Structure 1
Amino acid sequence: MQLRDFTAPDTQAARAALELGTAYHSPALLNHVLRSWLWAEAFAAAEGRTDLDHELLYVAAVLHDLGIVPAFDNVALSYEEAGGHVAGALTAGAGWAAERRQRVLDVIIRHNWPSVDPTFDLEGYLLETATSLDISGARADALPAAFVDEVLAAHPRLTLAAEFTACVTDQAERKPNTQARRIVDGGVAAKLANHPLER
């Protein structure tokens, strides 16, 4: 498994998602969402999961944390739901059907679930698994070490631990009934500070 094995979809929606993500994410958060896409694709390959929507997974991964940046921080909605609605609007502009736009919203919302059954939502499972690795260190040894090193060299973690902790803590304080509160109460700050990929 090598970084060159995974290529971003060359579609209007994928290009627009990357353009939007690049414009609004900090360098650390942009690297996080790109690593999340790569981890998701890598888990799919490692587990032999071939029946997935690669374009939808890419768009969802690149936009999954957009709701924590100031421009898209919703006053009431959880950050994953806010980001999911942005993804829905973007993909509407790219001509996606309503059902597929709902799917990208669902996948982004489900990335913050404690777990997702792959038989229920494969892309949701892959994004949840990938973000759990990148934020909490879950299944850190599940992917080939050389591939992990290659991804980290291309998309370093930078100040992700401090930035994400600050953003999600702020969300939890302002929106205590959202997944952000569960994540903070679950010790995300310590998980990030002691992350196995922070070296």
Structure 2
Amino acid sequence: MFPETPAAAAALAVATRFCSPALLNHSIRSYLWGAMYGRAHGIAFDDELYYVSSLLHDIGLTEGLDGHRVAFEEAGGHVAWAFGVAAGWPRERAARAEEIIVLHMRDDVSPAADAESHLLQIATSWDVSGRRPEEFPPEARAEVLARHPRLGFGAEFLAAFEDEARRKPSSAAAEAVIGGIASRIAANPLDAVS
């Protein structure tokens, strides 16, 4: 189900250390949703790289690793780069993890241009705000949520984005808040699953 590599195990340890239980489960679900979507659409991707990027993509929203001068995705990308190098990855692979995390908050990336960034965008937009529900069958939703429940994720994530928007008004989080992410989070069908 998950990659069984030293880097994957270390990414889980780091995410577990710094993320709240709700944010950790979101990160794990982001990997699962993206991998599910990739398989369903025949998108080839680097499983370990995508897993590590998924686990670390929101780490810049955590109190201990918040970049007070940069957007959360940039701070998280920096953490991912340092993590990758420390894990023994070549600098280019570490830079890819950084890039994936930064790009997940940017304009849509096509799977042909960057499979892992595309999958993280699809997965996070589904898990955060319920975008593309037709891509994730009810049985799959129930199975993933049974193993990795939301634990009040929507409210916690919205509070983190609103805080980021107040402190960093030119950030992608601020743009999302202005663009009505609160109503999309409130309407997320994943929170209607019992």
Task: Classify the TM-score, shorter chain.
Answer: over 0.9
TM-score relative to the length of structure 1: 0.94
Whether the 8 Å contact between 1:46 and 1:143 is mirrored in structure 2 is: no
Structure 1 residues 122-161: aligned runs within 5 Å? 122-161=115-154
In structure 1, list runs of 5 or more residues that go unmatched.
1-6
TM-score relative to the length of structure 2: 0.96
Mapped partners of 1:142, 1:49: distance in 2: 14
Which of residues 59, 63, 68 is equivalent to 1:70? 63
Matched, 1:189 2:162: no
Which of residues 97, 106, 112 is equivalent to 1:113? 106
The C-alpha deviation readout for 1:137-187, integer Å capped at 9, x for no partner, is 111121222111100111111111111011011101111111111111121
Moved over 6 A (4+): none
Counterpart for residue 4 of structure 1: none
In structure 2, list runs of 5 or more residues that go unmatched.
none
Matched, 1:58 2:51: yes
Q: CA RMSD in A?
A: 0.9
Equivalent residues, number: 192
Q: Shift of residue 108 of structure 1?
A: 0.4
Q: For 2:36, give the aligned amino acid.
A: A
Counterpart for residue 26 of structure 2: 32
User: The residue matched to 2:191 in structure 1 has which SS?
Assistant: coil
User: The residue matched to 1:29 in structure 2 has which SS?
Assistant: helix
Q: Shift of residue 23 of structure 1?
A: 1.1
The C-alpha deviation readout for 1:44-87, integer Å capped at 9, x for no partner, is 0110112x111000000000000000101011111011011111
